[in-house]
């Protein structure tokens, strides 16, 4: 799952944010290419929601810099 704004004339393209969900034992966590990461959780659904929230926050803030 990742967020990427389309490049079109007259717009600034935001740095790409690529989020990955990983599992280690009975825990899951999300990491983003910007350096953001979620805490390890047993609930995979919660980790996915946190990753979606991170991407939404990046888009809401204009996508400039690490989130």
Instruction: List phi, psi (to 5°) of 14.
Output: -75, 155
Contact in structure between 8 and 58 (CB atoms under 8 Å)? no
Instruction: Report CA torsion sign: 31, 35, 38, 42.
Output: positive
Residue 5 has pLDDT above 50, yes or no: no
Mean pLDDT rounded to a whole number for the chain: 80
Question: Quick one: average pLDDT of 11-39?
Answer: 87
Pairing state between β 17-24 and 2-3 = antiparallel
Lowest model confidence (mean pLDDT) among 4-8, 13-17, 29-33, 60-64: 4-8
To the nearest whole percent, how much of the chain has pLDDT over 90?
58
Q: Which residue has the higher pLDDT, 3 or 60?
A: 60
């Amino acid at each position: 799952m990742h967020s990427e704004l389309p490049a079109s004339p007259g717009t600034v393209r935001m740095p790409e944010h690529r989020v990955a969900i990983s599992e280690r034992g009975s825990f899951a966590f999300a990491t983003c290419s910007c350096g953001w990461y979620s805490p390890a959780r047993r609930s995979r659904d919660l980790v996915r929601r946190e990753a979606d929230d991170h991407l939404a926050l990046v888009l809401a803030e204009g996508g400039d810099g690490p989130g």
